[in-house]
Amino acid sequence: MVFVETNPREEVVTVFLLAENRLLREALMRLLSKKDDIRIVGSASYSAQILQQILDAKPKIVVLDSVTKALCQDGVIRRLLEGEPEIKVVMVGMEADESVFLRLVQQGVLGYVLTDASAAEVWRAIRCVAAGEAVCPPSLSVALFRSVASSPTSLPGVRLQRSPDFSPRQQQLADLIRAGLSNKEVAARLNLSEQTVKNHVHRMLRKVGAADRATMVQLGGPFA
């Protein structure tokens, strides 16, 4: 794991556990409840009412365990951060998958903890993210640097032309891409062929003057 050290803080970090896996949820509850510097303000599996439940609990950190639920089903992370930008998200029990990791970073995740992490690493990841830092395995930090290096247009101070004239279908695709769905997942959601989605995405990239999907999302404009 990569941690950026800071001076220890005495403040209690409020945490909401959003885990589809009941055993993991209960294990995290037992683990974190033993820590004097962490207070659990809620624990639940995914549901239609979960976003409001989290917002009502006012946690500083939300711990999630499911990539599928977080990204592919209604964009839980995106909607959560839109509702309360100050909330910080830590994913636990993750695989060392570069593409999944980068998609989650684009969604706003600040902590990425692998399946083989120890209890101490989970606790420390939560503390670090609460202190305004980011946590991820060393191998994936390299992937993040490579991603930034290959997309110089996404760096601060660079301006690209934006176009608001998406068709209704393209706007629909834009919303799903912003939620982190792949072309294949978008095609399944809209009952289109994957090639049709690719054609739409290609035209959308040209309209906003972007080289790739990540830059297109970062440009904002019609995605806002």
Q: Cα–chain-centroid distance for residue 15?
A: 17
The yes or no reply on domain 13-149 and CATH 3.40.50.2300 is: yes
The yes or no reply on domain 153-223 and CATH 1.10.10.10 is: yes
Which regions of 108-215 does DSSP assign to beta strands (E)? Answer: 111-114
Q: Can you tell me which residue has the tokens 């110089």? A: 152
- What would the pLDDT profile of 6-22 be if each residue is shown by its tens digit? 444 468 999 999 988 88
Report the SS3 class of residue 186.
helix
Domain extents in the chain: 13-149, 153-223
- Are 105 and 134 in contact by the 8 Å Cβ rule? The answer is no
Higher pLDDT, 190 or 48: 190
> Percent of the chain at pLDDT above 90?
30
Q: Can you tell me which residue has the tokens 């019609």? A: 222
Looking at the DSSP bridge assignments, the partners of residue 90 are: 63, 111
| The model's pTM | 0.63
- 66 token code pair: 């499911």
75: left (phi over 0), alpha (psi -120 to 50) or beta: left
| pLDDT at 2 (0 to 100) | 52
Q: In the structure, what pLDDT confidence band is assigned to residue 41 with cuts at 50, 70 and 90?
A: very high
